[in-house]
Amino acid sequence: MSDTPVAFSDLELPSSLLKSITELGYETPSPIQAECIPLLLKGQDVLGMAQTGTGKTAAFALPLLSRIDLKSNKPQVLVLAPTRELAVQVAEAFQVYARHMPGFHVLPIYGGQSYTLQLKQLRRGPHVVVGTPGRVMDHLDRGTLKIDELKAMVLDEADEMLRMGFIDDVETIMAKTPATRQTALFSATMPEQIRRITKRYMREPTEVKIASKTATMENIDQKCWIVSGTNKLDALVRILETDEFGGIIIFARTKTATTELAEKLEARGYAAAALNGDMNQQLRERTVQRLKDAKLDILVATDVAARGLDVQRVGLVVNYDIPYDTEAYVHRIGRTGRAGRDGKAIMFVAPRERRLLKQIERATRQPIQQMDLPSRDLVQNKRLESFREQVSNIVSKEDIAPYRELVDQLAVDTELEVLDLASALLYMAQKEKPLILPPEPEPRPRREREDRESDRGEKRERINYEDLDVYRLEVGRSDGVQVKNIVGAIANEADINSRHIGDIRLHDDYSTVQLPKGMPTEVLQQLKGVFICRKKIDITLMEGEIARPAPRSDKPRGEYKGKGRNDRGGNDRGAPRKPRPRRDA
């Protein structure tokens, strides 16, 4: 390609999409967008090698949207993603880009979501379906997802699907799609198993390789808090109370979340407002101006609404919800530290989101330091200091003579000492924001973590079998079930990390699995309706059964051994595990 910058208007996209792009504040396409969009518009297959955060979602969403027939109510584009989070993110991106395509409908489908809701939306006829391999397979087996008119298919983060043990499902799905469909495959790396898929299911794909050049500014102090114990809102308030930041931008993932969080902060006395795509341009500009004029201290925004936002007084950016890609992270924290000033960025990371944190660190080539929340004593001292300052200002600036008389009268009427009366009034005044905080609960003893394990997850936390119950599944070897099918279904449907699933034993007509004690009733009800190998598992607790480590000898065939991160049935390198030939005694 030439060195002349390409504009989106040069890429022959329809006017409806160009209008959305302009409204989003996009100016020039990223390298992968500039290369992939023309190829996909021509109907060619594309093999994209790019890291997360290079803008690949728009690289395939925009050209494929341009070919959607809005009059047809059958799925025309199918996108496979490794996780529910990525599936939702991609679906939201399609919806945003298609805002000026009347009647367009995109549907994310993934484990853990109600089948009833998904079936209702599938009957409505989505133009684009974005899903995880397991749930897409399930709907194909049930006949509830029709792909006979599919025009294009996208495999997003194919190497991650390989690592998670989904690659067999991916191949099965691809084999069921029309041979004439266009294919786009994106992967950060190109292992042999992925290369095999490109040769078998793609038609002379053009390879596009993009090196990530993401970098962040050194004048921004970046930290993260691993969510534990304290809920996120309380943690946020602690941070806000103990430091002076000037203007603050808090990023949330959805429009609803921005509104709810802004309202909760306002209820706690902060000058906060939401900024999201549901607001018209005039209201958005007015809200930003209030932040610039210091009439507002906190904006709670989505990525789309805050694109291009430049407010010099912003001293802190909080990633209340971790972004799904590094490009969004760099864009977010770039709202602080403007014009060479120092800035601060804090990111909340749930334990299950550590993988996203690692991706951001790798792409930005900067470690993000873990932080502790401000202590109870620090919060209490800051509140007392602020309260003292308010009292001093009132005494020096306001006419309090009438109130002195009122206090004297109250003391006479209640027969209270003035000190007791003042204490009671102080107690009433600080109810919403206590000046004396309750003692913090004793910290739970934390199980020693194996922080020295490699990024490939070669070690696994030791399972405490006393914390597990044994459950029976009504599916077994005779149904063709494999251990990876059970692990994948439970991990997706119940949102249980596979490290917390104990031994799995396969029998001819049923299987058993060890799961954490105290499983919520609603989760078990959700699992009861799950299908594995086209059979409902109808999970039940095996009363009286005690979870024990599996014996070292005479293990049932296919027993779960719990090694490595790829415990859906893959080996440590991510390849599907080949079944061993059974030895007859």
HEC secondary structure over 232-266 = HHHHHHHHHHCCCCEEEEEECCCHHHHHHHHHHHH
More confident residue, 430 or 471: 471
User: In the structure, what pLDDT confidence band is assigned to residue 455 with cuts at 50, 70 and 90?
Assistant: very low
How many beta carbons lie within 10 A of that of residue 395, not counting itself?
A: 9
Average pLDDT value for the chain: 81
What's the burial of 439, exposed, middle or buried (CB within 10 Å: 0-12/13-18/19+)? Answer: exposed
- Which CATH number is associated with domain 8-209? 3.40.50.300
Helix (H) or strand (E) holding 490: helix 483-493
What's the burial of 246, exposed, middle or buried (CB within 10 Å: 0-12/13-18/19+)? Answer: middle
More confident residue, 429 or 475: 475
pLDDT digits (tens, 9 = 90+) for 278-320: 888 788 889 989 998 999 999 999 876 666 677 888 999 999 9
Residue 157 gets the label, from left (phi > 0), alpha (psi -120 to 50) or beta, of: left
Could you identify the residue written with the tokens 């009438």?
A: 402
CB under 8 A, 24+ apart: contacts of 423-426? none
Checking if the pLDDT of 557 tops 60, the result is: no
pLDDT value for 5: 65
pLDDT value for 52: 60
pLDDT value for 564: 35
More confident residue, 461 or 391: 391
Could you identify the residue written with the tokens 């954490």?
A: 516
What is this structure's pTM?
Answer: 0.49
Contacts (Cβ under 8 Å, ≥6 apart) of 164: 82, 488, 566, 568, 570
pLDDT value for 185: 95
Checking if the pLDDT of 555 tops 50, the result is: no
Q: What is the CA radius of gyration of the chain?
A: 28
172-176, 333-337, 579-583: which is most confident: 172-176
220-376: in CATH 3.40.50.300: yes
Checking if the pLDDT of 35 tops 80, the result is: yes
Which regions of the chain carry the CATH code 3.40.50.300?
8-209, 220-376
Domain 465-541, CATH among 3.30.530.20, 1.10.3210.50, 3.40.640.10, 3.30.70.330: 3.30.70.330
More confident residue, 170 or 566: 170
* 71: nearest Cα among 151, 123, 127: 127
pLDDT digits (tens, 9 = 90+) for 348-366: 998 878 888 988 888 778 8
Is the distance from CB of 129 to CB of 78 less than 8 angstroms? yes
What's the burial of 523, exposed, middle or buried (CB within 10 Å: 0-12/13-18/19+)? Answer: middle
Checking if the pLDDT of 103 tops 60, the result is: yes
Q: Could you give the count of Cα atoms lying within 13 Å of 460 in the half-sphere of its Cβ?
A: 17
- In degrees rounded to 5, what are phi and psi of residue 193? -65, -35
pLDDT value for 330: 83
Checking if the pLDDT of 51 tops 90, the result is: no
**Identity at 8, one-letter amino acid code:** F
User: In the structure, what pLDDT confidence band is assigned to residue 325 with cuts at 50, 70 and 90?
Assistant: confident
Q: CA-CA distance, 322 to 354, in Å (whole number)? A: 10
pLDDT digits (tens, 9 = 90+) for 150-168: 999 999 989 888 888 888 8
- Of the listed ranges 22-31, 149-158, 274-283, 483-492, the one predicted with least confidence: 22-31
pLDDT value for 583: 38
pLDDT digits (tens, 9 = 90+) for 535-551: 889 999 887 777 776 65
**Identity at 300, one-letter amino acid code:** V
Length of the chain: 585
The distance from CA 205 to its chain's CA centroid, rounded to whole angstroms, is 31
Checking if the pLDDT of 463 tops 70, the result is: no
pLDDT value for 212: 56
3-state secondary structure of 19: helix
Checking if the pLDDT of 584 tops 60, the result is: no
pLDDT value for 462: 55
User: Stretch 450-475: mean pLDDT, rounded?
Assistant: 61
pLDDT value for 490: 84
In 11-59, DSSP assigns E strands to: 46-49
Share of the chain above pLDDT 90, in %: 33
Could you identify the residue written with the tokens 């449907």?
A: 493
pLDDT digits (tens, 9 = 90+) for 240-288: 888 878 899 999 988 889 999 999 999 888 999 999 878 887 888 899 8
* 512: nearest Cα among 484, 480, 476: 476
